[in-house]
């Protein structure tokens, strides 16, 4: 369990980091928190020629609001978000999810962008980013582009990042889920990857009687199942509405099966947790309309 | 030792080990660099569960920078004898594959290089030509005639088979009012210490000898076995155990084949070699508890009295029978009646080889598997007979006034009062309230269950119990075997300070603290004034076959050796002081660092002066007294006799008792278990140090809880190993453990001067079955298996699911 030999580079500027990425392409690996990359290196499942340690790029550690978007730089740690009142206020769904990610010790090191880059199908951060319709900021020497999460995550451990690109930030919409949100997951132990995770948010428009919602299910299939929608009038019967949404999301799914959980159990959890979180989000946001 | 208010023994003395551990000053095997020129080893391991080795090409690896050499099984075979075991089936076990690999992870080649990185690079460059063979991992499947055979020379995979009958089990079952029967699979688990295996081996040509530093924990009965494998005399193999070990729980027993491998390779390569196992290696190829496919039948009369037991034990021993196996299935054999009065017992033991890693010592050693059957059967009988599970146990307990008690299979139970323990447990857990809560929850359609379990904890093993694997005739021919010798040395140097040497190779339990308490009492000192050296060295310290750290032998046996040795030092100090004080030796007491006249505490002399007299002025000592103050005690508990002609054996010195109760609710929608209450009551005899006792109980509980809920060393049907990291092999973290309500009471053991009993395994033995009992109660089921994973419990709670 010792890594194969690699060059270690620790650039002092983003430009330097991007130049290295441009030079080495798919022979390079970016090191932020190292929680995914470290084990992959030690088990020789990743054998990059160069490891680019971005931990000196202090600009990437910023949490900043940019209009309707909260921009979380590539070096923002999970613990930073949990400790941030601004994040709690603007992206409460993410904050709720991060409590399920690892443990105190690992959250001090693990970054959100690292989780997005690794793209595990049961990871919490990608699930939330997709459910909230966030985006990923990819930077290369060629360009800076913003890729919607729906397009960024392409499958298990597969993303839209080009070899010369680096994730420089995750972009979180701040106008979603501030009225109603819920996150639940089932895992064998605290802090494990979820067997199934469910995230939901709901909003009532402040200008008319319309509403929006989002529901995401992680760990069920190769990539998160997401449903987002809305309407001009809140549904009469929230439970019935939730059932319809769930039925739409889980129709025709073929859940994964592994050592931990069968397809039948995942299917059941998708249904059970999905209904639970969506209903809670809807009731919080729209319950008032009902009464 | 009666007056405990006056003694250090029994008090919550803070652990003397902790300062070094908490400040990073403890030195573990990986910290040691005892000589220059050490090269680092990586082992190339088989990716196949079963394959013939057609050839190994290591030329490219040998030519790589920094590589000292590569050694294969074929080369090592010239220098090694097979490692022996108590099983007579003809099958050779070498520490490295010779012409065939039999489990995924088996060593195939050893690479030595300037550092571990280069060694791993070179290991990748070795090309092995394998001819894959069909594999078998299931113990029942391995018995089938068409199953792939691991050791052709053994003629099949069944490598050991014995049947035993004590009393008249046939009659007991014929006359029974109720017979309960259970068959189940018990999964494979491992204790997963924080520190993995590690060793440094050094061969010297002149004089010809091997020195091996490691975190091997014994039993040192394996030392002569290693010497035989290396083809040398015992005095040419010096084993040194590091003073600190990052946990063992038994598993570091399984390190010994690697010590032989490294020693032989050191000779071939001409340099000292160091190998520190990584976690993947540890999980896939160190050692583990046995998975089993067992059956039990229990006969009861109409009042719930247990009248007969039949055990059918099928042990999946893995790819090889590694000594001291088949001990795991014989550990509980002599106490197969558990804590009950039943006299009629039949036992069938079978060992089967499969393409899994070989089994060995692991916390509880055979106990968790044994109690899973017996205590599931007790709960099931209670349900069938409509007797409360607490009451059915109460009716069957050994009588409190019947100790010492000889069990039908030979165990001699030293002391106990099991009914008292159960009553304490029911009170602590508030059993009536829990039962009422269960009724209320069930009325609401919720799944609430209560589990109970009780058992004895045999400690301080008889080295001869494993010879039950042989017939009485075979034993007769092999010569007598018995005992469990412990060694301890106490020395007072010329300055009057004390050093103690132990043969108990502790792995964090706190032996040094308790030894210091004992010696401090004997010599009138304070525990922190005593230095306890726990670094075992077979070249310089006293040791015997039973030396080592296993079967909770410290508090059962070793404490007696320490007391005996310290007592002799005290006697000599008193004799010398009596001369100096001009009183009779009987009038001298040792207290507060002085030898003084009893009743006249102001008249005395410092111990340092007395000690100095024995070193500086031997001519002035009383006639016939030897100089110096150095004593070694080798002590054997008299109760540990050889097995008799009827296969009965006093397998252990002390028998602690414990009983556990858990109340839980099964969440029907997710399969999650919500533990409402977990209580555990222990009788460990007289408590030597309550801090140490509570630590052991909590640790054993954590191991048992992990085993019950999450842990399994899993293989797929083709023999591929699925649990190679802590992301796959799930140990509980502190966040996963429910609160444990712990209490203890004391029935003094007559087996040592302190009345203490061995302890530390008990909770790991009962926690798995008590959780299974509670789930069975909650779901109204007969059959429950481990681990109680979410998916499994959800299926059990929702039997209508189609199970896709």
CATH of domain A7-53: 3.30.43.10
Are B564 and B667 in a shared domain?
A: no
pLDDT of residue B184: 98
- pLDDT value of position B6: 84
Per-residue pLDDT reduced to its tens digit, A150-200: 999 998 899 999 999 999 999 999 988 888 999 999 999 999 989 999 999
A3 chain-B contacts, CB cut-off 8 A: 117
Q: B24: pLDDT confidence band, cut at 50, 70 and 90? A: very high
Starting at the edge strand found earlier in the chain, the sheet holding A28-31 runs A7-9, A50-53, A28-31
Distance from CA of B541 to the nearest CA of A (A): 36
- Domain CATH number, residue B517: 3.30.365.10
pLDDT (0 to 100) of residue B5: 61
- Is B735's CB within 8 Å of A268's CB? no
Mean pLDDT of the B513-530 span: 97
* Residue B462, helix vs strand vs coil: coil
CATH code: domain A180-286 is 3.30.390.50
pLDDT tens string B111-122: 999 999 999 999
pLDDT tier for residue B3 given thresholds of 50, 70 and 90: very low
**Half-sphere CA count of A282, side-chain side, radius 13 A:** 27
Judge: B121–A4 Cβ closer than 8 Å, yes or no.
yes
Q: C-alpha angle B366/B369/B373, rounded to 5°?
A: 135
A269 closest CB neighbour out of B670, B732, B804:
B670
Judgement on whether residues B268 and B325 belong to the same structural domain of the protein: no
Q: Which residues of A touch B794 (CB under 8 A)?
A: 265, 268
Q: Three-state SS string across chain A, please?
A: CCCCCCEEECCCCHHHHHHHHHHHHHHEEEECCCCCHHHHHHCCCCCCCEEEECCCCHHHHCEEEECCEEEEECCCEHHHHHCCHHHHHHCHHHHHHHCCCCCHHHHCCCEHHHHHHHCCCCCHHHHHHHHCCCEEEEECCCCEEEEEHHHHEEECCEECCCCCCEEEEEEEECCCCCCEEEEEEECCCCCCCCCEEEEEEEEECCCCCCEEEEEEEECCCCCCEEEEEEECCCCCCHHHHHHHHHHHHHCCCCCCCCCCCCHHHHHHHHHHHHHHHHHHHHHHHHHHHHC
Q: Which one of A190, A192, A262 has the shortest CB-CB distance to B804?
A: A262
Residue B256 pLDDT? 97
Residues B786 and B739 placed together within one structural domain of the fold? yes
Nearest by CB to residue A263, choosing from B714, B722, B804, is B804
Of all residues in chain A, the percent with pLDDT exceeding 90 is 89
Average pLDDT over residues A237-246: 96
Average pLDDT value for residue range A10-38: 97
Mean pLDDT over all residues of chain B?
96
Enumerate residues 6+ apart whose C-beta is below 8 A from B386.
none
Residue B541 lies in a domain: yes
Cα distance from A64 to chain B (closest Cα, Å)?
A: 33
- The CATH number linked to B227 is 3.90.1170.50
Please name the member of B121, B735, B804 whose beta carbon is closest to the beta carbon of A191: B735
- Are B804 and A186 a contacting pair at CB < 8 A? no
pLDDT at B246 over 70: yes
Condensed to tens digits (0 to 9), the pLDDT of residues B441-482 reads: 999 999 999 999 999 999 999 999 999 999 999 999 999 899
Which H helix or E strand runs over B350?
strand B345-353
Q: Which residues of B166-190 are buried (b: 16+ CB within 10 A; e: fewer)?
A: bbebeebbeebeebbebebbbbbbb
Query: What confidence tens digit (pLDDT) does each residue in A67-124 have?
Result: 999 999 999 999 999 999 999 999 999 999 999 999 999 999 999 999 999 999 899 9
Q: How confident is the model at residue B2 (pLDDT cuts 50, 70, 90)?
A: very low
CA proximity to B354, closest of B288, B275, B308, B423: B288
Q: Of B601, B635, B669, which residue constitutes the final position of a domain?
A: B635
Q: How many residues does chain A have?
A: 291
Test A259 with B722 for CB contact under 8 angstroms. yes
Give the three-state DSSP class for B52. Answer: strand
Same domain, B228 and B115: yes
Task: Please give the average per-residue pLDDT across B728-740, as a whole number.
Answer: 96
Q: Which residue of A has its CA nearest to B726?
A: A192
pLDDT at A2: 95
**Does any domain span residue B15?**
no
Question: What is the percent of chain B where pLDDT is above 70?
Answer: 99
Answer yes or no: is B262 within a domain: yes
- B736 with A43: Cβ contact below 8 A: no
CA distance B313 to B350: 6
How many domains does chain B fold into?
Answer: 3
Average pLDDT over every residue of B316-326: 96
Tell me the whole-structure pTM to 2 decimals.
0.96
CATH 3.30.465.10 fits A58-173, yes or no: yes
Mean pLDDT of the B302-316 span = 98
**Interchain pair B733, A189: CB under 8 A:** yes
Question: Are B440 and B498 members of one domain?
Answer: no
Instruction: Closest CB to B710: pick one of A4, A43, A189.
Output: A189
Q: Quick one: pLDDT at residue B4?
A: 47
pLDDT value at residue B564 = 98
Same domain, residue pair B214 and B350: no
Confidence bin at A289 (pLDDT 50/70/90):
very low
Distance from CA of A211 to the nearest CA of B (A): 30
Rounded to 10 deg, the angle between the A263-290 and A238-250 helix axes is 150
Look at B710 and A195 and tell me if their CB atoms are within 8 Å.
no
Q: Is residue B163 part of a domain?
A: no
Are B709 and A188 in contact (CB < 8 Å)? yes
Contact B791 A265 (CB under 8 A): yes
Residue B436 and residue B337 in one domain: yes
* Out of A5, A188, A269, closest to residue B789 by CB: A188
H/E stretch holding B59:
helix B59-62
B2 in a domain, yes or no? no
Distances in Å between the Cα of A47 and the Cα atoms of A29, A53, B126, B127, B314 are 9, 15, 18, 20, 44
Domain assignment present for B513: yes
Per-residue confidence (pLDDT) for residue A259, from 0 to 100: 86
Chain A residues within 8 angstroms (CB to CB) of chain B:
1-5, 39, 43-44, 103, 186, 188-193, 195, 259-265, 267-269, 272
- Cross-chain residue pair B117–A3, CB shorter than 8 Å: yes
Residue B236 has pLDDT above 80, yes or no: yes
CA distance B537 to B213: 9
Neighbouring residues of B585: CB distance < 8 A, sequence distance ≥ 6: B571, B574, B575, B577, B578
Write down the pLDDT at residue A205: 86
In a domain, B77, yes or no: yes
- B-chain residues near A260 (CB < 8 A): 789, 791
A268 to B794: CB separation less than 8 angstroms, yes or no: yes
In three-state form (DSSP H/G/I as H, E/B as E, the rest C), the secondary structure along B504-551 is CCCCCCCHHHHHHHHHHHHHCCCHHHEEEECCCECCCCCCCCCCCCCC
B736/A186 CB distance under 8 A = no
Q: What is the mean pLDDT of residues A25-31?
A: 97
Q: Could you tell me which chain A residue has the CA closest to the CA of B727?
A: A192
Cross-chain Cβ contact B280/A43 below 8 Å: yes
Query: Which residue of A1, A264, A269 is in closest CB contact with B803?
Result: A264
Which of B794, B799, B803 should be substituted to probe chain A, the one whose Cβ sees the most A Cβ atoms within 10 Å? B794
Query: Over 70: is that where the pLDDT of B784 sits?
Result: yes
Q: Using the beta-carbon criterion (under 8 Å), do A264 and B790 form an inter-chain contact?
A: no
Domain identity same for B697 and B757: yes
pLDDT at A61: 98
Query: Is B117 within 8 Å of A265 when comparing Cβ atoms?
Result: no
pLDDT tens digits along B169-226: 999 999 999 999 999 999 999 999 999 999 999 999 999 999 999 999 999 999 999 9
- Is the same domain home to B618 and B664? no
Q: Are residues B245 and B346 in the same domain?
A: no
CA distance A266 to B801: 12
- B723 with B782, same domain: the answer is yes
Q: Which residue has the higher pLDDT, A62 or A222?
A: A62
Q: What is the pLDDT of residue B456?
A: 98
Contact call for A43 and B790, based on CB within 8 A:
no
Asked, as a colleague might, if the bond just before B98 is cis with ω within 30 of 0, I would say: no
Chain A positions in Cβ-Cβ contact with residue B795 (cut-off 8 Å): 265
Contact flag B733-A191 (C-beta cutoff 8 Å): yes
Is A1 close to B279, i.e. CB distance below 8 A? yes
Q: What are the structural domain ranges in chain A?
A: 7-53, 58-173, 180-286
Count CB atoms within 10 A of the CB of residue A22. Answer: 15
Are B442 and B576 in a shared domain?
no
Please list every residue in chain A whose beta carbon sits closer than 8 Å to the beta carbon of residue B113. none
Q: Which residues on chain B place their C-beta less than 8 Å from a C-beta of chain A?
A: 116-117, 120-121, 124, 278-281, 669-672, 709-710, 714, 722, 725, 727-728, 730, 732-733, 735-736, 789-791, 794-795, 798, 801-804
Residue B527 structural domain: 485-635
What digits encode the pLDDT tens for the residues B675-695? 999 999 999 999 999 999 999
């Amino acid at each position: 369990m010792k890594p194969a030999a690699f060059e270690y580079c620790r650039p002092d500027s983003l430009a330097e980091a991007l130049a290295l990425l441009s030079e080495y392409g798919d022979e390079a690996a970016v090191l932020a928190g190292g929680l995914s990359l470290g084990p992959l290196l030690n088990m020789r499942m990743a054998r990059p020629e160069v490891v680019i340690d971005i931990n000196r790029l202090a600009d990437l550690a910023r949490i900043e609001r940019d209009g309707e978007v909260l921009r979380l730089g590539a070096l923002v740690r999970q613990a930073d978000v949990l400790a941030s009142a601004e994040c709690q206020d603007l992206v409460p769904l993410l904050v709720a999810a991060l409590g399920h990610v690892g443990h105190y010790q690992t959250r001090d090191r693990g970054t959100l962008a690292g989780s997005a880059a690794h793209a595990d199908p049961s990871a919490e951060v990608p699930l939330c980013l997709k459910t909230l319709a966030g985006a990923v900021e990819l930077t290369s020497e060629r360009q800076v582009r913003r890729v919607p999460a729906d397009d960024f995550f392409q499958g298990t451990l597969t993303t839209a990042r080009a070899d010369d690109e680096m994730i420089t930030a995750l972009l979180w919409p701040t106008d979603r889920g501030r009225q109603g949100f819920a996150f639940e997951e089932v895992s064998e132990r605290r802090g494990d990857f979820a067997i199934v995770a469910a995230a939901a948010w709901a909003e009532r428009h402040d200008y008319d009687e319309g509403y929006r919602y989002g529901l995401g299910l992680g760990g069920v299939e190769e990539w998160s199942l997401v449903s987002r929608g809305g309407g001009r009038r809140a549904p009469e019967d929230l439970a019935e509405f939730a059932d319809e949404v769930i039925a739409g999301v889980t129709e025709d799914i073929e859940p994964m099966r592994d050592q931990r959980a069968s397809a039948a159990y995942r299917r059941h959890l998708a249904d059970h947790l999905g209904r639970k979180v969506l209903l809670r989000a809807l009731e919080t946001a729209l319950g008032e309309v009902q009464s | 030792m009666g007056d405990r208010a006056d003694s250090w023994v029994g008090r919550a003395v803070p652990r003397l080990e902790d300062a070094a551990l908490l400040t990073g000053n403890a030195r573990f095997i990986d910290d040691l660099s005892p000589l220059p020129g050490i090269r680092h080893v990586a082992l190339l391991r088989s990716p196949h569960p079963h394959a013939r080795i057609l050839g190994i090409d290591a030329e490219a690896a040998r030519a790589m920078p920094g590589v000292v050499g590569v050694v294969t099984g074929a080369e090592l075979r010239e220098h090694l004898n097979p490692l022996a075991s108590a099983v007579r089936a003809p099958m050779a076990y070498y520490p490295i594959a010779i012409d065939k690999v039999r489990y995924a992870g088996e060593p195939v080649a050893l690479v030595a290089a300037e550092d571990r990185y280069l060694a791993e690079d070179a290991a990748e460059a070795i090309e092995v030509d394998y001819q894959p063979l069909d594999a078998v991992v299931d113990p029942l499947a391995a018995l089938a005639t068409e199953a792939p055979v691991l050791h052709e020379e053994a003629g099949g995979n069944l490598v050991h088979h014995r049947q035993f009958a004590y009393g008249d089990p046939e009659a007991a079952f014929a006359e029974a009012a109720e017979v309960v029967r259970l068959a189940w699979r018990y999964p494979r688990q491992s204790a997963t210490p924080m520190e993995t295996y590690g060793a440094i081996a050094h061969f010297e040509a002149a004089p010809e000898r091997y020195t091996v530093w490691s975190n091997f924990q014994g039993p040192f009965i394996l030392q002569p076995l290693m010497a035989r494998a290396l083809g040398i005399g015992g005095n040419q193999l010096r084993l040194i155990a590091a003073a600190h070990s990052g946990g063992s729980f038994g598993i570091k027993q399984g390190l010994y084949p690697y010590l032989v491998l490294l020693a032989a390779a050191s000779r071939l390569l001409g340099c000292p070699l160091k190998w520190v196992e990584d976690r993947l290696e540890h999980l896939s190829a160190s050692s583990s508890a046995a998975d089993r496919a067992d059956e039990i039948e229990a006969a009861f009369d109409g009042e719930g009295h247990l009248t007969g037991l039949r055990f059918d034990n099928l042990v999946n021993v893995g790819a090889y029978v590694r000594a001291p196996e088949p001990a795991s299935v014989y550990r509980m054999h002599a106490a197969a009646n558990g804590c009950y009065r039943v006299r009629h017992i039949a036992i069938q033991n079978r060992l089967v080889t499969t393409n899994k890693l070989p089994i060995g010592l692991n916390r509880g050693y055979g106990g968790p598997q044994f109690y899973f059957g017996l205590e599931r059967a007790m709960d099931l009988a209670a349900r069938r007979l409509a007797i409360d599970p607490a009451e059915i146990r109460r009716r069957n307990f050994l009588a409190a006034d019947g100790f010492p008690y000889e069990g039908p299979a030979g165990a001699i139970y030293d002391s106990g009062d099991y009914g008292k323990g159960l009553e304490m447990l029911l009170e602590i857990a508030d059993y009536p309230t829990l039962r009422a809560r269960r009724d209320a929850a069930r009325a609401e359609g919720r799944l609430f269950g209560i589990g109970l379990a009780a058992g004895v904890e045999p400690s301080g093993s008889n080295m001869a119990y494993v010879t039950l694997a042989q017939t009485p005739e075979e034993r007769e021919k092999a010569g007598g075997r018995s005992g469990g010798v412990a060694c301890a040395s106490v020395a007072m140097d010329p300055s009057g300070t004390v050093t103690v040497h132990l043969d108990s190779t502790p792995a964090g339990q706190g032996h040094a603290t308790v030894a210091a308490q004992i010696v401090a009492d004997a010599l009138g000192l304070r525990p922190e004034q005593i230095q306890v050296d726990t670094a075992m060295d077979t070249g310089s310290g006293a040791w015997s076959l039973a030396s080592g750290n296993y079967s909770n032998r410290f508090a059962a046996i070793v404490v007696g050796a320490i007391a005996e040795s310290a007592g002799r030092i005290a006697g000599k100090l008193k004799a010398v002081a009596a001369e100096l004080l001009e009183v009779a030796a009987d009038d001298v007491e040792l207290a507060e660092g002085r030898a003084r006249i009893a009743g006249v505490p102001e008249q005395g002399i410092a111990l340092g002066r007395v000690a100095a007299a024995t070193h500086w002025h031997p001519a002035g000592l009383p006639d016939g007294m030897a100089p110096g103050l150095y004593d070694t005690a080798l002590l054997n508990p008299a109760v540990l006799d050889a097995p008799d002609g009827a296969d009965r054996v006093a397998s252990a010195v002390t028998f602690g008792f414990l009983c556990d109760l858990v109340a839980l609710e099964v969440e029907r929608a997710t399969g999650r278990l919500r533990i409402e209450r977990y209580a555990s009551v222990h009788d460990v005899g007289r408590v030597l140090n309550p801090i140490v006792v509570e630590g052991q109980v909590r640790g054993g509980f954590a191991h048992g809880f992990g085993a019950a809920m999450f842990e399994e060393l899993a293989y797929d049907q083709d023999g591929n190993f699925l649990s190679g990291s802590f992301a796959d092999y799930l140990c509980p973290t502190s966040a996963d453990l429910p609160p444990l309500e712990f209490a203890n009471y004391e029935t003094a053991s007559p087996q040592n001067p302190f009345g203490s009993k061995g302890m530390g395994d008990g909770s790991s033995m009962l926690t798995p079955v008590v959780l299974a009992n509670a789930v069975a109660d909650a779901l109204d089921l007969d059959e429950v298996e481990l681990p109680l994973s979410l998916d499994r419990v959800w299926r059990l709670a929702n039997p209508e699911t189609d199970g896709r």
